[in-house]
Amino acid sequence: MKNSLQDITVLDLSRVLAGPWCTQNLADLGADVIKVERPGPGDDTRSWGPPYLEGTTPEDGYSAYYIAANRNKKSITVNFRSEEGKDVIKRLAKDADVVVENYKTGSLARLGLDYDTLREINPELIWVSITGYGPTGPKAENPGYDYVFQGMSGFMSYTGRAKGEEGAGPIRAGVAIIDLMTGMYATTAILAALHERERTGKGQQIDVTLADVSVALNANQASNYLVGGVPPTQTGTSHPNVAPYDVFEVADGHMILGVGNDEQYRRLTELPDFELLRGDDRFQYNRDRIRLIGELRPIVAQIMKQKTMDYWTHVLDEAGVPFGPINTMDKVFEDPQVKHRGIKIEADGHYGSVPMVRSPLVEDNADATAPPALGEHTDEVLAQFGFTAEQIAQMHETGTV
């Protein structure tokens, strides 16, 4: 699968996370992704540190954040606010298959680099705009950030400790979950558009917004409200639809108990430690366990904290009851399954070897390349698209690239 897009060229005009996450997916699948950056600072996230890769300085623009979303790409710098720079973008777009951009609505149109302009020179072009709210509507002109949409969408209204508990209140996700999922939805849309182009020979414009994705990401919580009519609220670590499906304190830490159905609950109660619950018909069915969660959870919590992590790991594994640790990041990469799957990879780049997390889309990242240094491939890419050595030298002199 990793070379399935090897004949596809992607012009990446995006920066920060949602767009670069999308184009990194495409690069992992073999697409030739050309990351267009501003001369000087480049992608905003290059300066989002510390930490920076060991051996580099902040001025190198090689932060860990940038590394996370930009492997397997080529970087060129273009000042496309200049006329010469606009011509460069048009030349690249003429032969590209996909353009991904996340500029504020109307920005590229004012520069004459919007979809309507570029499809005139490339009717097969697939254009993906990633914006906060979309090109129309009462909020179309508003800037949009992941954190804002975690709140606006309702996500934070049910994420956090329950009312009455210490530390209660809305909590954001630990990563920019809306940006990441927007990048994934955009990837899916591009793959579908490429398939459709095979049938029709036509490109298209795709509109992906953080607002739409953030509401869709509510998934079962949105469905719970639409069907049940009651807005969800914070439940801490408890699941709103399944029980006991929660974090529990054990003698030497915390772990997750993930009872996903009535059969798993029956197996749990057959353990000697859970004898107290074995004949209690109140909790036989999940619907009743959810209704009586306030009575069930304290019983399970009291049982769990009597034994150690190692004990529960052995006992629950033997019983076929889902469970898991709450790992710190150092323990994640020491997990035997993570090691077996080769999730951590190393790739050589301009600044040496770079540790990264491989794409879940491909099993073998042995030939992955590290995220590029700013403008590392400018001359190479321009030559690839037909610019002469003299033209490239002239553009360097004028600050176009």
Q: Which residues carry out catalysis?
A: 179
Cα dihedral sign, 308-314-317-321? negative
Return the percent helix, strand and coil in the chain, to nearest 5: 40, 15, 45
At 383, list the tokens: 């030559």
- What is the distance of C-alpha 321 from the center of its chain? 29
At 98, list the tokens: 């996909």
Closest CA to 45 of 87, 102, 117: 102
Residue 102 CA to residue 88 CA, distance in Å, equals 19
For residue 283, give the DSSP letter. G
- Please provide the distance, in angstroms rounded to a whole number, between the alpha carbons at the two ends of the chain: 34
Strands 73-77 and 32-37 come out as parallel
Closest CA to 244 of 262, 253, 257, 263: 257
Residue 126 CA to residue 388 CA, distance in Å, equals 27
At 99, list the tokens: 């353009």
At 81, list the tokens: 């606010």
Q: Residue 377 carries which side chain, given as an amino acid letter?
A: H
For residue 52, give the DSSP letter. B
- What is the distance of C-alpha 401 from the center of its chain? 30
Residue 356 CA to residue 342 CA, distance in Å, equals 11
Q: b or e along 72-109 (b: 16 or more beta carbons within 10 Å of the residue's beta carbon)?
A: bbbbbbbbbebebbbebbbebbeebbbbbbbbebeebe
At 188, list the tokens: 């899916």
- Non-local (6+) Cβ contacts of 285 within 8 A are 262
